[in-house]
Amino acid sequence: MSKTTGSPGGLTVRVSPRGASRLKDGHVWVYRSDIVSAEGVPAGSLVSVVDHRGQTLGSALYSSSSQIAIRLISHEPVADFPALLRQRIADAIAYRGPIIHDTNAFRIVFSEGDFLPGLIVDRYNDILSMQILTQAMDAETVREALISELTERLQPAAIVERVDPRVRQLEDLPPRPSGLVSGTKGSTIFTMNGIQFHFDALEGQKTGAFLDQRENYAAAAQYAHGEALDVFCYQGGFALRLAPRCSRVTGVDSSRPALEVADRNAALNHRDQSQPEIEWIEANAFDLLKDYASSGQRYDTIVLDPPAFAKTKRDLDAALRGYKELNLRALKMLRPGGILITCSCSYHVGQADFIEMLADAARDARRTLRLAEVRGQAKDHPILLNIPETAYLKCIAAIVSQ
């Protein structure tokens, strides 16, 4: 008789000693290369994980196609999976109570960071935006439990699902369009640290905004002064927050749709005539910084928030060269006393790599930099210490002294 620990159906996946020690060390992933047997286990199943001696390690979600074959969901047997999901959602909402201030837009569920691997849920005022990233989370019974729990707890006007077609392909899931999964409301306005933003549930990058930078907007504003340049500005997250502190603000992005929303956001927030109008420039940031640096443009505040340059470990060197080029040019343009806010959202570029890159850039630009703050992602994107992949965003504030 098969043991029914973990999965009611008695499904078992056996992992190698390396896979087992990874789980014992507190990680929740086991790679396919560490799966010893998963015979007859259907895609997306809840399984019981055992080591090579048959000792049970916990319950996990199995993917038949991802390189991450197993994501541990509990150290205990799970008798009622939908009930566990509902509890985890309730816990995720409760966790945010004391850490969220001055915003009605924040991440409610951060996948592994909230013990719900494969699920992202973001709140934008009265609309929830959900992303499903694994086979197990895509199952119909799972979707029903998630949607009904989110609806009961938060009473949103609508829930939209944002589909990443590449993820579905990697998970061997059939294509599915993005769209509303409950309610009819497709757009709203959300408020973050006193700044208002338009939100269109089916437009924009990620689930709509870069919520992980929320606390960094406020931090950047503390240092901002004079003439400011927000490079990779998207819909104006930093620029709008800097405007009340600066005499001139320019935002740069290569995406015209993003800049159109940025301009509408600026209009929403421009109540005080003493604030500068923000100028939005559609350009490739690398070209623009090169031109501006060589033509002697000067600024007091520069924000660099590029997209992830290193999608895999192999890209690390190229990514660091990209970051260095941007940071070098920005440093050349900053006046003494100027502030650089420089970010990287590439997990594969570690904090130490990023700081070393910045030190190299400062040396090459012949500027002396003082490190004011080393920051990360907003607290609604919780970092699990034993799962390094949950920490990905770096945001450094540094002041040019000469």
Where in the sequence numbering do the catalytic residues fall? Answer: 345
Question: Could you tell me the smallest distance in angstroms from the CB atom of residue 340 to ligand SAH?
Answer: 14
Stretch that binds ligand SAH, among 82-90, 152-160, 227-235, 374-382 (CB under 6 A): 227-235
Identify the sign of the CA torsion 328, 263, 224, 335.
Answer: positive
Nearest CA among 12, 51, 16 for reference residue 31: 16
Residue 232 binds ligand SAH, judged by CB under 6 A? yes
Residue 258 binds ligand SAH, judged by CB under 6 A? yes
In the DSSP assignment, the letter for residue 213 is: G
Stretch that binds ligand SAH, among 135-143, 191-199, 299-307, 351-359 (CB under 6 A): 299-307
Residue 110 binds ligand SAH, judged by CB under 6 A? no
User: Are 378 and 390 contacting, i.e. CB atoms less than 8 angstroms apart?
Assistant: no
Q: Which is nearer to ligand SAH, 154 or 283 (CB)?
A: 283
Stretch that binds ligand SAH, among 3-11, 107-115, 232-240, 361-369 (CB under 6 A): 232-240
b (16+ CB within 10 A) / e for 150-173? beeeeebebbbbbbeeeebebbeb
Selected from 305, 322, 391, 393, the binder of ligand SAH by CB under 6 A is 305
Q: Report the C-alpha gap between 355 and 16 in whole angstroms.
A: 36
Selected from 284, 294, 312, 386, the binder of ligand SAH by CB under 6 A is 284
Report how far apart the first and last C-alpha atoms of the chain are (Å, whole number). Answer: 74
Residue 380 binds ligand SAH, judged by CB under 6 A? no
Identify the sign of the CA torsion 171, 176, 181, 185.
Answer: positive
Half-sphere exposure of 203 (CA within 13 A, CB side): 15
Q: Which is nearer to ligand SAH, 210 or 323 (CB)?
A: 210
Residue 278 binds ligand SAH, judged by CB under 6 A? no
- Report 173-202 residues binding ligand SAH (CB under 6 A): none
Q: Report the C-alpha gap between 142 and 119 in whole angstroms.
A: 11
Phi, psi of 194 (to 5 degrees): 80, -5
Phi, psi of 230 (to 5 degrees): -105, 105
Give the residue carrying structure tokens 């405007």: 243
Residue 285 binds ligand SAH, judged by CB under 6 A? yes
Question: Could you tell me the smallest distance in angstroms from the CB atom of residue 353 to ligand SAH?
Answer: 19
Q: Which is nearer to ligand SAH, 227 or 253 (CB)?
A: 253
Stretch that binds ligand SAH, among 44-52, 115-123, 136-144, 279-287 (CB under 6 A): 279-287
Please give the residue ranges that form the binding site for ligand SAH (CB under 6 A): 205, 210, 213, 232-235, 237-238, 253-255, 258, 284-286, 305-307
